[in-house]
Amino acid sequence: MSSRLHPLAGQPAPPDSLLDLDALQEAYFSRQPDPSSPEQQVSFGTSGHRGSALDGSFNEWHVLAITQAIVDHRKQQGIAGPLFLGADTHALSAPAVTSALEVLAANGVDVMLAPAGQFTPTPAVSLAILEYNQGRTGSARADGIVVTPSHNPPRDGGFKYNPPHGGPADSDITSGIQKHANAYLAQLLQGVRRLDADSALAAGTTHEHDYLAQYVELLQHVIDFDAVRASGIRLGVDPLGGAGVAYWPAIAERYKLPLTVVSDVVDGRFPFMSLDWDGKIRMDPSSPYAMRRLTTLRDKFDVAFACDTDHDRHGIVTPSGGLMQPNNYLSVAVDYLFRNRPGWGAGAGVGKTVVTTALIDRIARGLGRPLFDAPVGFKWFSPGLLDGSLGLGCEESAGASFLKRDGRVWTTDKDGIAAALLSAEITARTGKDPSQYFDSLAATHGRPYADRVDGAATREQKARLSKLTAADVQATSLAGEAVEAVISTAPANGAAIGGIKVSTANGWFAARPSGTEDIYKVYAESFRDEAHLLQLLQEAQDIVNKALAAT
């Protein structure tokens, strides 16, 4: 992403930049949000509610209100099975789990908790829901909550709901939960049922579930561990202090892999991270600045990988190319999987978002596979992964999940662990690391050059941008080529993409507003060269500015 780099980007976090955990926890319990302030209301984005106790946007009241709203939703939908509750290693996750459990227990909901001290990756929760729901219908079905703000900085907390299909909730569900949670805040939690923490933990409805053992054992149905083990390749992983920290040694032991865990340290301050591009600590496995610890070790492994805090995103490091761009690895994963999964249905398609590389479009055409080109948000892929009509779903921010080797559903939420381990299978079976594999794909289909830039936008401008249509774009050419298509809805399902995408024969750009900041984002990709990419970005910003001014 083209942005002004912080002078300490990629460097170890200075001690004075580390979070005060005591102050954060105190703010979580003591600070009461202002229900009239939009910044302190419950707001579900593409993946749950996120915020910080220090800003009054993720406090105990938020979690209590959201959880009661989820209980109400379950009753309305007739969901009476257990709720699988997982959490990552962010400092606010543990108190938020306690708050949620207090409400769930008071409402008589059966809750499945990991053993004490065990963290829970997002894909492990999705898997647990799906495994439980096999053969069950109607009210017997389970659902889940994952307490995580994903790769966000240490000060943040997050809370997301996964319905019985196991993936992220769609906007109809989240908008209802958001509305009712904010109503509870406005009425000072009146109507929220709650037990004290000790009583909730001791309740007959609170049960232990070993997410780790279940996930690790079933992983053999997704990855060809025999090929990886027989190859003798050296593997490395950096959990980045996240929820999968205990999963990796368990995977190595169960499947007898030569896997080195770079660090098993868990610390809510994340002091072992190098600073991201903007000087913040962010556990982003696709950032070369955040991934500095692993990239410096790249020559020690045949392939290495990392995951973000809840382990739903992946980062791949190779000796030949270093840290791969997410789009490049996703392209490799698509090509490899559809050539090496004979158990998948002949009609299984490729799922991607409209701002994910168009190289995948070309690969899908070459493979003769249908393409499901969706708006941003992994929720669009969950139904297809569930019924096997999609072999893989992926998005540009290094998130993906795919079917078991026999074509059955694995997870319907992003799985960074499986995507990371796939890089080991690719290396073992092809004799090429994923960077080398990508080079061969680029030679066949064209090499993409991609970037993203941000521009300032008021809330009113962001709202207008999200509602732009093809009629609002007057340009007939882009970066020296004729405009072939302008879309504001996704080809896969006609759903709004929350912006516009303009395509030519050898390039495209997409513009959409940020859901969290007063900016808009312009994504662009060229299949010619860097100069063409720069021209695309420049003209894209002009087109967007003119469209905004005209509306």
Q: Closest by alpha carbon to 503, among 395, 373, 311?
A: 373
Q: How many CA atoms lie within 13 A of 51 on its CB side?
A: 24
Amino acid identity at 98: T
Helix or strand holding residue 50 (H, E):
strand 48-52
Residue 18 class from Cβ within 10 Å (0-12 exposed, 13-18 middle, 19+ buried)? middle
Handedness of CA 64, 70, 75, 80 (dihedral sign): negative
* 3-class SS shares of the chain: helix, strand, coil, % to 5: 40, 20, 40
Q: Closest by alpha carbon to 157, among 313, 29, 16, 274?
A: 29
- Are the beta carbons of 429 and 146 closer than 8 angstroms? no
Q: How many CB atoms lie within 10 A of CB 207?
A: 11
At a CB cut-off of 8 Å and minimum separation 6, what does 86 contact? 114, 119, 120, 121, 122, 124, 125, 144, 145, 146, 147, 211, 243
- Are the beta carbons of 275 and 11 closer than 8 angstroms? yes
- 150 noted as active-site residue: yes
Residue ranges with strand state E in 309-389: 314-318, 322-323, 349-353, 371-374
CA torsion, ordered 283, 384, 404, 323, to nearest 10 deg: -30
47, 99, 150, 503: which is the annotated catalytic residue?
150
Q: Closest by alpha carbon to 466, among 499, 495, 514?
A: 499
Q: How many CB atoms lie within 10 A of CB 263?
A: 14
| Separation CA 138–CA 24 (nearest Å) | 41
Place of tokens 């009509």: 389
Active site residues: 150
